[in-house]
Chain A
Amino acid sequence: MSLQSNKILIIGGGIQGCATAYFLAKRGQNVTLIEKDRIGRHASGVNAGGVRRLGRDVLEIPLSLAAMDIWQNLYQEIGEYAKDFHPCFYLKVAVDEAGREIGLMRAEDLSRAGFTHEVWVEDDHIQARLPHLSTPTHGGLLVEGDGWATPWRIVQGFANVAKKHGAKIIEDCRVTSLTKFQDFWQIQTAKGLFEAESVVNCAGAWAAGIARLADDHIFPLEAYAPMLVVTDKRPKILPAVMGVVAHTLSLKQLETGQFVIGGGVRSKASPSINQSDVLLPKLSSSMKLASKLFSEIGNAQVVRCWSGIEGYMPDNLPIIGRGRQNGLFHGFGFSAHGFQLGPGVGEALADLVMGQQPRISLEAFRPDRFVN
């Protein structure tokens, strides 16, 4: 098979890989993206679509805000596909006094750090904006302009504009080995041998394996399968995305009237065979909370449950930066909250690969932070 020469090769066709391909191609770089299955087949295409800054680790907020700048002008980047992003507001309510304490403390921490996007609101504000709420709250945290998107469409959008700008996207093509020769990489794949100056590892839950192939750092990345359910169509009662302080719940209502319920509860994943389990009963507490917030939801019928394979880091922060090997870059380990970050990560990785200074610090995401 003939050798295909590239300047930059990206491994993984999720949101991180596709956004990175787009920003590089837009800046005129010669880039090829390789995906072992199909674009958006894994976490990026099946996630809850939560586009939220709310509740982020303080260390992650600058990246999340940078990403949000792109989300807010998404039409300019990906055109038509941008209409699958629905900004509204994100509200995380406290359902008891303990939750209120935690929420108030969080609000204080944020304002001390100088962040103004996430604020505390009292129950009267919440009731006024959510008249169908079935229960009084103890206040909550609010972010205006956060929302939700149809994840698969957004990933397709980035892949498409990347292609328009000249990026090559190759699907059904698994990377099986990575070898460094002086100052270029040789990449063996299911569809032949590739050569590139730089390799970007956006392989999601499989990324530690890619790092191993490249003889890079050993990453303590673990794979799990967060679960979601969607209900049948119901009258519209929820104009926001919702969570509950100190609980793993995310709740939203789609334009069709269907509720999507999930958030954090995860099942077993077996990345080597592309398999993720679902164990519905594990979601029972989330269901209980959701029907407490809106009693109407208790009558809704669960139509489907699914899960996706996601890579988690021990500190729940991603790995973004240069690898140990020259010409190798990483962007993975998003620990179930990387969809919103995607466009920001793509931009930052494009900067790094091109030897430029990203507009935010990536210090907290250093790949070598687990090397002792």
Chain B
Amino acid sequence: MPHLAVKDVRAKYGSLEVLKGISFSIEKGEIAALVGPSGSGKSTVLRALMGLTPITGGAVDIAGETMNYSSAKEVRAARDRMAVVFQQYNLFQNMTVMQNLTLAPLKIKKWNKSEVMSEARRLLGLVGLSDKADAFSDQLSGGQQQRVALARALALKPQILLLDEVTSALDPELVNEVLDAIRKLANEGMTMVIVSHEMAFVREVADKVVFMDAGQIIEAGTPTELFDTPRTDRARDFFSKILRH
């Protein structure tokens, strides 16, 4: 039984169908990478999983439980099992790093306070920001903010972590510090769905690559299959362009 199964998920913006039936699945501890040209619907897949963009069809299985996002309760259940990190970090501007990390665990999950605090400190250590607990986000670099966002997502103890182009907004010299943090998570066995243009990184960490174009999955397989021996013209086209540099 897969840990995450996305089953024929559809979504629309107005009359424009941006997800035309998306299906893929991964096992526990695996990493799926969504790749494809800009506007192909990668972010919308993650937003649909988080219930931020309503789905017009399909369902999602998480650890054997089916979510169909048909009610507020269903959406809450899905959000309870997953966490997302956005391209623009989206740390709460009015809160310190520590408050960002502990808000939902304390107020929503209602976990024990001292455990939440020590877990938050452990996670800040994991992303190398132990000394920034009391900083506000406007005192941090983009790379630091993104690592805080990663720690904040992990503080929710998600069964699945979703990462949407988490290095795209960063200066090149800051990309590696964030990728290193994600590598650590991969080694710890975190199940993840990542959207990324860092193809070398995708090849290194992903168990499955899902190539999307115009709201559809064109081809899916292992990184080697897709990067080295793509079966479709569109995938071959895309990867030859993006892998060249």
A and B part of one assembly: no
